[in-house]
Structure 1
């Protein structure tokens, strides 16, 4: 496509570069598919996280002492970063000529498009391997849990608890969570929550529920949580775009199952204004508890569950958060009751009354109160995630405690 004698897909390690794809290298390099870093131009692409364009290596101060000029005949070099699943540059897609060459803007753009495709494939393979590992771990846990009903429940709960996260802490945001298993027979649900800071400084909140009450649901939950965390960490995109990416990955990776999810981002601009952006894939709506005890149900029109139709458009919603506001996300186990049937509106109203009546409590005590008052008569797991906004400048309230508290209640 570029008319070069040598093209490489190069991964750079601490002491060498390896070529999973190589065309046109002289021997013994073509056969061994690796060189020491003394022969690597690609290491500079990884170090700078930027394309490297070399017209004539023999007169370029960055590389003129590189042994690839003498041993591999590298004169002109064009390398584009390859990005792995965690957002790190792991190597380079490069084109090499054995004579000086002024690379055109069109040639750079063509190689950039190819590198983007290679990066996407690399990320997909990495995530597929992680999903497979999670499924193997879940299957292993299931195999060891066949001795008795009690042991099955213990292993399932251990698996589920292990996939719940410890929560980040910031001076202006207090995040707490609770997870309460149902204890109905040997069932285990696919409920989960997650919260983390992104590369651009936003705080991501997620809560979801995979359909089913078995080990497969727990395994699927683990795969979705891992995929969602990887997608949301460094892209800085709208929540609807991330959920769409998750939906497509479920299709491409053959992840079976359906799930409801609320994915949200809390962002803060230079003026200190906080904004909650969220997208809802068929999940119970979050509740916004204002500092004065009023509640607002964030019941915008939900989109389709993930795992149904990856082509369906998803939507984003936004609301401004004031100091003292608390956002409460939960799974349906909190608002369903065996005596109410499918009337989740009644459960939602009860939840809002509890929040209003106890809005003055510290966040930990508030969640404990919600679980004790609204969790009675439940037949499903409960996952509960809440974030309270404190002023950005003053110190955290005393009752909040120190950073890094465990997420589980």
Structure 2
């Protein structure tokens, strides 16, 4: 049977203490729900079923719990096996972690009052059960709603799939969701394009969304090449993983890239000017942003990089001999605060073969772990990558350092100073998800 606790003191036996010394028994609450519900584990074993589910079927919960869904339904007098649509929806819910709706399905069941068998139509909603910060689906709650046969069958007594889908609004819901997803993907893809070619540098980018369905969020990257040959690299993070966060991100990225193209601005000035412009345009929202300006090559082939941080994480440098170091100077104020304080800048010369990584916090943040520890693990991961190609380094960093896939957005910009830049060499970029 289902058991649960709350942040209040656990009183044992599935009960939780509440103020005043009373207890809440979650089995009683589950049974008191008017809507029929059944709980399945990832192997489709029945974990529990409430009274609203079992009473219309004429079977006790104990006859269902511990059985597979197909075996449990077989215990129902006259009950058919689960229909493929229902099983497919539950499977998608387990795989994607997103709710699934199934149009009304006919079951010919005996009426407990009259004993006569007749058609009944049930619409199913499969809801995933996860834990905060962990997208793994640990169980599925199947909510059952009975639909009036007259709505489904119509005056002619025929229940066509089109009529069932229309009356349950499933078709419209699916069409709306598909249209929203297509629009969101188009928006994100237009904003997060591959980086431009930068002579003498290899530049690579990665983006991994937290939202696995719409694939949009508030993280972004950008690479701008000035007329002087200087390159400006930006990574930023607006709070949120939805279309609203993506819209704010789009506005902020546009403002930052407009300012960054001006050749006279260092990274701190780029952030300050963009912040003032965003406020004047009434673009609301705070963001953690890193901006870095990479100078043209010195006679020895090295590149000077200057960066400023607006509440963001420190860059990471990997030298040609594979040593990795976090550049942990003090960050400036969060983008959007508009405080009258200077943003500090830091400078480093990158020798040929050296790589630099700028990233958002989704790459390293772990629930219950100190950020300093997570950053150190990232540094060690980078140091241990044997393959010297920047593309492989970016792949390894994303694969090994992302703590929980889907827990947060990740944006990454990586550059490497070429020892002997080849004319026409192309930068590469990947959106992962």
Look up the match of 1:353: 380
Which of 249, 263, 284 in structure 1 is aligned with 2:291? 263
Distance 2:211 2:280 in 1: 34
Distance 2:278 2:173 in 1: 27
Map 1:26-105 onto structure 2 (within 5 A): none
Are positions 1:283 and 2:306 aligned together?
A: no
Q: Matched residue pairs, number?
A: 259
Map 1:3-402 onto structure 2 (within 5 A): 148-149=176-177, 152-183=180-211, 188-268=216-296, 270-271=298-299, 272-337=301-366, 340-341=367-368, 343-378=370-405, 379-391=407-419, 394-396=420-422, 402=425
How far is 1:298 from its partner?
Answer: 1.1
The two structures have a TM-score, normalised by structure 2, of 0.55
Which runs of 5 or more structure 1 residues have no equivalent in the other structure? 1-143
The two structures have a TM-score, normalised by structure 1, of 0.58
Q: 1:250 to 1:312 in 2, by over 3 A?
A: farther
Which runs of 5 or more structure 2 residues have no equivalent in the other structure? 1-171
Distance 1:280 1:359 in 2: 29
Q: 1:203 to 1:407 in 2, by over 3 A?
A: farther
Give CA deviations for 1:120-169 in whole Å, capped at 9, x if unaligned.
Answer: xxxxxxxxxxxxxxxxxxxxxxxx99955565445334322221132122
How far is 1:252 from its partner?
Answer: 0.9
Q: Is this contact kept in 1: 2:219–2:238, CA < 8 A?
A: yes
Distance 1:184 1:164 in 2: 16
Q: 1:146 to 1:299 in 2, by over 3 A?
A: farther
Distance 2:375 2:177 in 1: 33
Look up the match of 2:426: 403
Q: Which moved more, 1:354-363 or 1:204-213?
A: 354-363
Give CA deviations for 1:58-110 in whole Å, capped at 9, x if unaligned.
Answer: xxxxxxxxxxxxxxxxxxxxxxxxxxxxxxxxxxxxxxxxxxxxxxxxxxxxx
Give CA deviations for 1:158-205 in whole Å, capped at 9, x if unaligned.
Answer: 322221132122342100011111136768421000012112210110
Q: Which moved more, 1:259-268 or 1:351-360?
A: 351-360
Aligned partner of residue 170 in structure 1, secondary structure: coil
Distance 1:299 1:290 in 2: 16
Distance 1:377 1:228 in 2: 30
Bigger Cα Rg: 2
Q: Is this contact kept in 2: 1:291–1:359, CA < 8 A?
A: no
Distance 1:370 1:356 in 2: 10
Q: Is this contact kept in 1: 2:209–2:408, CA < 8 A?
A: yes
Look up the match of 1:128: none
